Structure 1
Amino acid sequence: MHPEFVGILLNNNTYRRISSGRIGTESLANYEEAAAMYGLVPCFFTIHHISLDTGMVTGYIPIPSGYRRVYIPIPRAIHMRAIYHNRRELKRIEDLIKQGIFVFNGRTRYGKDTIHHMLEQDSGLSNALPHTVKATPVSIRSMLSQHGDLVLKPCSGSIGIGIMRLKRSTGHSQLTYSRSSPSAKGWRTVTLAEGKLHPLIYQRIKRAPFLAQERIPLAEYRGRPFDIRVTVQRGGSGSWEIAGMFAKTSPPQTFVSNIAQGGSAYQVPDILTRCMPNAPVGETLERIAEFSLHIARILSLFIPYAADFGLDIGITEDGRLYFIECNGCDQRYGFLEAGMGEAWKNSYRNPMAFVRYLYDNDTWPPH
């Protein structure tokens, strides 16, 4: 009997490192272990190794001594773990889907403004979405007057790059920003005269679309605001499931909690117990889970072939939940940072269980 392959579509850098064994934040071993649980063999490749003309792909499969390059028919399901912006690459993904290949997460790269608009269609989420508008000099001044504390974020981008905070104080305002690449270094805060915007704001919103968003007064741990990353995935039943969640705190002198920007990861029950001692932890965890599942279901109405979301959920001191951001290519290493090895493995098992669902049912599940 021939093995049933599942495609794992990696970015170029990760793929090139397979032969050396130094992969980075992805765990190929987790894919291999999870795939084997469901009678599957993972084949690792990039978009450039796929030939639509021949229906074949070149990639690596695991063997006892490491990995072997193979030339096989394109697997019927491909778990996409790369981000593409190039039109040619995006068209190739669309062509795979048109040929009946299940490319899950194939269309999850949507701007923050688009995601926000999708969620606005659900009236039940109206109180859980921060006030958000397109960033212009006029709208920024108006929002600052209305809310007093804003986050200015690029519509496209990840791991906190380009994000700024603008806070109004008596007679002046303060802008916190970073010019550096993803790290906790390079952050600075400057004071601005009342009504004035820093030249950097003009530069950035002119160069790329930005959002001006009300900053939610997040609950704090040891004086640092935190939010909660919830990994929501389709699993063996085809339905949305919670793979796990961990809390992220911002490093000193910053306001972003991204792990790549120096944020720290903690287990959510520990954080809630210390920061919200009067709220039943189990009940709060259940509310966060249901809230996240609801968001995933709403987004899947608009995003075809979505099967994996990393949702950033904010919580205030009085327990109110807010949607902050959605990541279509969830970085899973935060679970390891938080000492949650089982949840880390779960985030690899669920996609492989979902592949088994697709192979057994030969159809995409209902929303």
Structure 2
Amino acid sequence: MVIASRSMLDLLAAHDYGLVTGVPCSYFAGPLRLLARGEGPRYVAAVNEGSAIAIAAGAELGGRLSLVLAQNSGFGNMINPLTSLVLPYRIPMTVMVSMRGWPVADPGEPQHHWMGQVVPSWLDSLGVAHRMLTADGPSLGDLLEWARSALDHGRPAFILVAKGAIADDARADTPSAPARPSPTRDEVVSAVLAEAGDARLLSTTGYLSRSLFNLGDSERNFYMQGSMGHAAGIAAGAALAQPERRFIVLDGDGAVLMHLGSLATIGHLAPANLTHVIFDNGVYDSTGGQPTGGRRVDFAAVARACGYRNAWRADSIERLRTTLRSALDTDGPSVVVVTGSPGGPAGDRASSNVSVAEIGDRFRKSLAAGDPRADG
């Protein structure tokens, strides 16, 4: 039976869970809306899934029963703290993992194919107990009772959550009007396209890639699906491989937070041909608009402290276009942080029209064509 969002939080309270942490997934959209409003246990938005495991471990050591919410695409981020912290230190915790791509991945989401299949066998290899929650049963209450036996023996327990097992029935708050107009995602992408010239564009997973595809599809664009937080790393590698070309990476605040150390790597390597555009709207837009937990982060200041040569902030399209022209006319690495509005139509995924293998292949060919090094 599908469990209602509020009923899920009531069950967590009844089983004495005092803290929930994790990285959002649309499968948990309803409960996450309630948690973000302060209902149920305290919610801590983690920057990545491994950090969520560590936060839960610390809360457990402090005497608070904790639950981690995450999607299986980030299961790999959990492996290190799970195997080197949770298991050897015998720290109990419950982890609910959404099973994207299970039993089969949707045609437009090939990035979920492997993790949709391997999580149960990986948990088996680690000797970690796991059960599946589906709309057909067993109930979440029964699974939390089952998890208790593992927790009482100092072990983690994983509940793998199928699509539709938890209702998305929590009403979204009506957002208040912003104090001043701020750019939308599509406006930001349109401005970047207008100023990019012959630069290659790489976009992070989620709605930024959808906007780039729908507003300006090109073989010179690389749309990333999955691998959240790694768009800047891909762009840095490409920029170092082809220093004669310009590269622009379109990133989101949640993705940057997930692997913030990439800024230090880019600052150290200092690719002069890289411009990093960070769209800071304060939410994980593609999973339901949950807050990132990074509203106090000054990304421009962080980038400069990490070694970026230039750092600008923009809160209007006019300012964005001006700073982009400056960034593309000077040596980087440069960052332009755009404060923008969440929401807006998502549009089609690139992979619903062009396979991800083809996206990679045509981007590679666009870089090989007229390679300045080959001409020399």
Q: TM (normalized to structure 2)?
A: 0.27
Which has the larger share of strand?
A: 1
Which has the larger share of helix?
A: 2
